[in-house]
Each structure stands twice: as C-alpha cells, then as structure tokens.
C-alpha cells in the first residue's frame, strides 16, 4: 500500500440528513458535529444540526441555503476525518476541492478549525445578503464535443473537467437557465447543483473585497500534513491570504492533481458527503481498488468505515 489521501469536496455535494445515521450511532462523529455546531449557534443563533437533521432519515429535499450548507459541509468532513483518525486511519496527504480545501487546511493545521468556522459562517452570511445570483451545472456528456466558446457566448465558464464525461460550468443564474434550456432541447443529461452562486467564475468577482476583508486577520500556519490544492494544482505547505480567495475563484483541478501526484498503489478515502470525488477518482485513475467513499445517500457509513479499516489493516505491509 502506498500513501493514504483523504479527499474533501465542496459546494454541490451536500444534502439534507448527510451523516445523520452516523451522528446517531458514532460517539466521535457526533462529538465533533456538536462541537462545531455550538460555534454556529454562538455566532448565528441557529443550529445546523437541527436544520439539517429535522427531516425523516430517507427524506432528501433540496439543501441550498448557504447559511447552513457552508458550515455543514465543513462540519461533516471534519467530523468524518476525526472519526477515521479514531480508528487509526491517518492520512499522508489531503486533497481539497473548493470549500473542501478549507476543511483540508483545518485538518492540516494551517488554520484553527474554530477560526475557520467563523470565517465560513461570515462568508455565507455576506453572500446571502449580496445581490449575486449564479449557479453551477454539471454536464454528463463527452467533453471533447464542446468548445470553450460555446459557453463563453452565454456568459459561462468551464471550471472543472472531472473526467471525460463529466464537467462543470459556472456563472450567473440567467446564463445557467439558458444553458439548461439548450441542453434539454438536445437531450443532454445535466445536474443543476444545489448552489445559488457561480463559484470559481467571474460571477463572484464582486465579492472579492468583502472576502479579503473577512480573512484579513486570519492566522495561517505551516501545514503539518501536505495539502494538495485543487486551486493551485500542487501541494501547498504555506498558504497566503490571496490563496484563500483562489480556493473559491480558481478552476477546480482535481483531475490534474490526481494525474500528477497519485500513484497506482495509493489509497483514496473520500470524506465528503456523497462520495463524488471517489467516483471521479475511479474514472480518472481507471481503477476501483483502494478508492473508498465514507458517506452516501444510503446511510451506510459504519459499513464503509469498517471496509476502509479492514483494507488499510490488511495492506499495511504491501
């Protein structure tokens, strides 16, 4: 077995009740979820846990209120990391995509989790109060059939090519709606991500000054675990404040990071809500062995964690 990488996804991967069964069953996961939720309650008066877990377990309504989704993604990913650590599953590296890169930074010790949560909460509040209206659309089709100019003509940008048959465009809401109309007419499959902002595109440029003001006083330290940044397409040990903006503004280069740094016998463990990065990884690396999801829509987290634990223990000497 080679190196172990934990994978952290961002906006668009969230859903109501994510991790709820594990929260009900696992002491470590629930402990960290409650700890982080207390930070949200102290800052906003609202509980992410109460909001996110207030539906029956198998109910999956749209979860797109950034006031809750922004901290929720960080909460479940950080809590899942601690749950795996408790089982002695320790990463050699962290791969962070979009908002997930912030969680990876906290896990790596670049920023204290408490400080990161406060920044994420403030960002969500300010975005919700802004007049920015955008979206992100996943297109499930052969990427080679498309020209960049096709999207630029309607004001959209390709922000990530996850594999040959799955890529994401981002921009303002009207342009997203025009594209959906066009794709429907051509019977092309797509998924309108539960995100109300065009992250990683010019749609969020008006947010730059507010964003930089919010991170002005943040304390950034050297990473204790390598963070493989999908906004920089390289391992980062020391972040600057401008790089924090790049996390939400630059393209997501997940495929490029995997192709450049992940070796054949490396293990990838997706700690994000849906296992989307694990799914992309299997396509990108053309293998299924050694690639795991932890959370799924089917509430099988305990089983998934046990499988990871068995695989890691059985392959330690390889």
Query: Do residues 178 and 158 lie in contact, with contact meaning Cβ atoms separated by under 8 Å?
Result: no
Beta-ladder partners of 269: 6, 292
Q: What is the per-residue pLDDT for 317?
A: 61
Q: What is the per-residue pLDDT for 59?
A: 65
Q: What is the per-residue pLDDT for 148?
A: 86
Beta-ladder partners of 137: 169, 192
- 299 pLDDT tier (thresholds 50, 70, 90): confident
Q: Once rounded to an integer, what is the mean pLDDT over residues 145-169?
A: 93
- 318 pLDDT tier (thresholds 50, 70, 90): low
Q: What is the per-residue pLDDT for 228?
A: 98
Contacts for 62 with CB less than 8 Å, ≥ 6 apart: 194
Token pair for 102 = 């912030």
Element (H, E) at 29: helix 27-44
Catalytic residue IDs: 98
What whole-number distance in Å separates Cα of residue 142 and Cα of residue 164? 6
Give the predicted TM-score (pTM) of the model.
Answer: 0.95
The domains of the chain, with CATH numbers, are 4-131+203-314 (3.40.366.10)
pLDDT one-digit tens code per residue, 300-309: 999 999 999 9
What whole-number distance in Å separates Cα of residue 26 and Cα of residue 80? 10
Single out the residue of 78, 73, 68 nearest to residue 104, CA to CA: 78
Single out the residue of 256, 263, 206 nearest to residue 231, CA to CA: 256
What whole-number distance in Å separates Cα of residue 262 and Cα of residue 318? 17
Q: What is the mean pLDDT of the chain?
A: 93
Q: What is the per-residue pLDDT for 252?
A: 97
Beta-ladder partners of 93: 5
Please report which residue ranges of 62-108 form alpha helices under DSSP H.
Answer: 66-86, 99-107
- 274 pLDDT tier (thresholds 50, 70, 90): confident
Q: For the ranges 138-142, 144-148, 158-162, 239-243, which has the lowest average pLDDT?
A: 144-148
The yes-or-no verdict on residue 56 having pLDDT over 90 is no
Contacts for 296 with CB less than 8 Å, ≥ 6 apart: 274, 275, 304
pLDDT one-digit tens code per residue, 119-144: 999 999 999 998 889 999 999 999 99
Query: Three-state SS for 142?
Result: coil
Q: What is the per-residue pLDDT for 58?
A: 64
Q: Once rounded to an integer, what is the mean pLDDT over residues 201-224?
A: 93
């Amino acid at each position: 077995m080679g190196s172990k990488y934990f994978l952290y996804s961002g906006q668009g991967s969230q859903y109501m009740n994510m991790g709820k069964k594990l929260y009900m069953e696992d002491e470590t996961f629930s402990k960290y979820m409650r700890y982080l939720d207390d930070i949200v309650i102290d800052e906003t008066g609202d509980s992410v846990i109460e909001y996110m877990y207030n539906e029956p377990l198998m109910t999956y309504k749209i979860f797109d209120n950034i006031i809750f989704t922004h901290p929720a993604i960080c909460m479940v990913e950080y809590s899942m990391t601690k749950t795996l650590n408790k089982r002695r599953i320790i990463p050699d590296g962290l791969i962070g995509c979009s908002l997930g890169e912030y969680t990876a930074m906290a896990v790596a010790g670049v920023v204290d989790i408490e400080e990161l949560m406060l920044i994420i909460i403030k960002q969500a509040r300010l975005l919700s109060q802004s007049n920015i209206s955008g979206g992100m659309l996943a297109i499930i089709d052969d990427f080679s059939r498309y020209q960049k100019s096709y999207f630029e003509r309607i004001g959209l940008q390709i922000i990530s090519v996850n594999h040959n048959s799955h890529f994401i465009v981002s921009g303002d809401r009207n342009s997203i709606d025009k594209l959906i109309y066009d794709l429907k007419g051509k019977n092309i499959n797509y998924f309108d991500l539960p995100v109300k902002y065009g992250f990683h595109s010019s749609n969020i440029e008006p947010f730059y000054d507010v964003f930089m003001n919010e991170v002005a006083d943040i304390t950034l330290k050297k990473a204790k675990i390598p963070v493989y940044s999908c906004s920089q397409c390289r391992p980062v040990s020391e972040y600057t404040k401008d790089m924090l903006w790049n996390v939400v503004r630059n393209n997501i280069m997940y495929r490029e990071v995997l192709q450049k740094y992940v070796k054949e016998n490396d293990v990838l463990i997706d700690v994000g809500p849906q296992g989307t990065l694990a799914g992309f990884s299997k396509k990108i690396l053309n293998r299924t062995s050694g690639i795991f999801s932890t959370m799924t829509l089917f509430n099988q987290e305990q089983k998934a964690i046990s499988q990871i634990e068995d695989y890691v223990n059985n392959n330690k000497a390889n």
